[in-house]
């Protein structure tokens, strides 16, 4: 597996003064950067970029048009309890009132392609791309293709809570950062295998780790990456992505998600956060498997939207 040359740019944050203690916000900032630069996930981000942009459908000659322009994606992170059992403690109408301290992990809830118009209109993206050219990033990347990727990582910390609701008048908080790298030929070969490529997604609910086999697609690759983060955090935390505690904001988002999209939109000024989590629960196997193990009716979860599970 080829590790690619990476460059980091533009740390960004906007923190509401009423939000979490500053030391917790700083901890989340460090975790965002560690995730963006985690070697255990770098190859997956390459393949995910190729799949989201449809580059695997192009032959080598057609790919040459990307010599003069980058491809870009926005990666949205939210936090969940490290242990899936604690997720179900919060996934109910009273979960937002749970004051139990529980460790947390970042999870990828959304990947969005940044189009050419948005890239062209952002001076920072242009500056980053020029930097990759001046430092010969493609040439320095073993097995590199002449395609540069800009990844924008974003964590919405949300507005502060006002009782059981999000305060609609308060300015929200977020932090973000960017990384650049060149794609590799090996990642392109993996993406071109499509459904012939099988992913072994690690799953642990009770007892030893097992695997769920899935065909390669964007949804299943995101689930694999999230599962890698969860497995690492519950073992030796080598990626250093485990946070000491889950923020109150995230507890409420999990609670609101248990109400369903319609009710969630009435309960909070930020239904987007809730809907992203609902979408993740629907497409990721671990929630549905854990509901069975812990005796929760599957009816409390959004209907599954699995695609490409080997044993379906």
CA distance 219 to 42: 17
Strand partners, 184: 144
Residue 80's closest CA among 92, 91, 69? 91
pLDDT, position 166? 55
User: Predicted confidence band at 15 (pLDDT cuts at 50, 70, 90)?
Assistant: very low
| pLDDT confidence of residue 264 | 47
Mean pLDDT in residue range 157-177: 62
pLDDT tens-digit series, residues 222-234:
999 999 999 999 9
Q: What is the pLDDT of residue 164?
A: 53
Kindly give, in sequence order, each residue whose CB lies less than 8 Å from that of residue 272, ignoring residues fewer than 6 positions away.
Answer: none
What percentage of the chain reaches a pLDDT higher than 70? 84
Query: pLDDT band at residue 4, thresholds of 50, 70 and 90?
Result: low
Residue 30's pLDDT band (cuts 50, 70, 90): very high
User: Which residue from 113, 307, 310, 305 is spatially nearest to 220, judged by alpha carbons?
Assistant: 307
pLDDT of 75 strictly over 80: yes
Residue 123: band (very low, low, confident or very high) from pLDDT cuts 50, 70, 90:
confident
- H helices of the chain, in order, are 22-36, 39-53, 84-90, 116-120, 123-134, 137-140, 185-193, 218-234, 248-257, 261-267, 271-283, 285-293
Q: Which two tokens stand for residue 142?
A: 């073993």
5 pLDDT exceeds 60?
A: no
Per residue in 45-72, pLDDT (tens digit) is 999 999 999 999 999 999 999 988 899 9
Whole-number pLDDT of residue 199: 98
Q: Which residue has the tokens 């599962």?
A: 227
């Amino acid at each position: 597996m080829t590790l690619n040359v990476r460059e980091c740019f533009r740390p960004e944050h906007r923190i509401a003064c009423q939000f979490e203690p500053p030391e917790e916000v700083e901890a989340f900032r460090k975790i965002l950067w560690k995730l963006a630069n985690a070697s255990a996930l770098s190859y997956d981000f390459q393949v995910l970029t190729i799949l989201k942009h449809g580059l695997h459908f192009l032959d080598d000659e057609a790919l040459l048009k990307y010599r003069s322009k980058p491809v870009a994606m926005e990666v949205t992170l939210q936090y969940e309890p490290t242990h899936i059992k604690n997720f179900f403690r919060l996934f109910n109408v009273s979960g937002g009132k749970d004051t139990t301290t529980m460790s947390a992990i970042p999870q990828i809830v959304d990947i969005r392609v940044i189009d050419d118009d948005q890239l062209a209109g952002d001076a920072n993206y242009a500056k980053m791309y020029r930097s990759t050219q001046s430092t010969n990033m493609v040439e320095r990347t073993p097995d590199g293709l002449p395609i540069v990727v800009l990844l924008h990582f974003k964590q919405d910390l949300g507005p502060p809570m006002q009782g059981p609701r999000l305060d609609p008048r308060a300015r929200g908080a977020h932090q973000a950062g960017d990384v650049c790298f060149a794609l590799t030929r090996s990642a392109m070969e993996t993406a071109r295998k499509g459904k012939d490529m099988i992913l072994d997604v690690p799953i642990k609910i009770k007892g030893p780790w097992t695997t769920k086999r899935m065909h390669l697609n964007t949804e299943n690759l995101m689930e694999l990456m999230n599962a890698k983060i969860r497995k690492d955090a519950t073992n030796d935390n080598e990626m250093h992505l485990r946070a000491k505690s889950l923020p109150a904001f995230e507890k409420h988002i999990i609670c609101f998600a248990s109400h369903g999209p319609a009710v969630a939109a009435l309960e909070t000024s930020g239904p987007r956060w809730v809907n992203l989590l609902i979408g993740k629960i629907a497409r990721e196997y671990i929630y549905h498997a854990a509901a069975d193990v812990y005796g929760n009716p599957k009816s409390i979860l959004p209907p599954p939207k699995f695609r490409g599970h080997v044993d379906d």
